[in-house]
Homo-oligomer: A and B are copies of this chain.
Amino acid sequence: MNLVFKALADPTRRRILELLREREMTAGELAEHFSLAKPTLSGHFAVLREADLVEAEKHGTSITYRLKLSVLEEALLALAGVMGIGLAEKGTDGKKGKGHAT
């Protein structure tokens, strides 16, 4: 949980997660959304991976990143719980168009 909140502390990383919510993307595709150098983004991916917020899958020469929504959700619920905020799952509605899930 500590790693998750550390990861969430950076706006770029939150934006990455937000992009991944819509659909999984390769490192390159993600990079197109930012004006940061590839190595910089790669560093952010590493942080997100260590926090277990995303998973990476290799396809040929590219790497596809996918959001692990449940991990994020649990961290948020855990914090809410410990802080005494009454948050309840409402049903992960979800993506834009293409239904699907884990």
A: which residues have CB within 8 A of B?
2, 5-6, 8-9, 11, 14, 17-18, 21, 69, 72-73, 76-77, 79-80, 82-95
Contact = CB atoms under 8 A, between A and B. Distances in A.
A9 B18 contact: no
Contacts of A93: 84, 86
Contacts of A84: 21, 69, 92-95
Contacts of A88: 87-90
Nearest to A86: B90
13 contacts: A5-B5, A14-B79, A14-B82, A17-B83, A18-B83, A21-B83, A69-B84, A76-B80, A84-B92, A86-B89, A86-B91, A86-B92, A88-B89
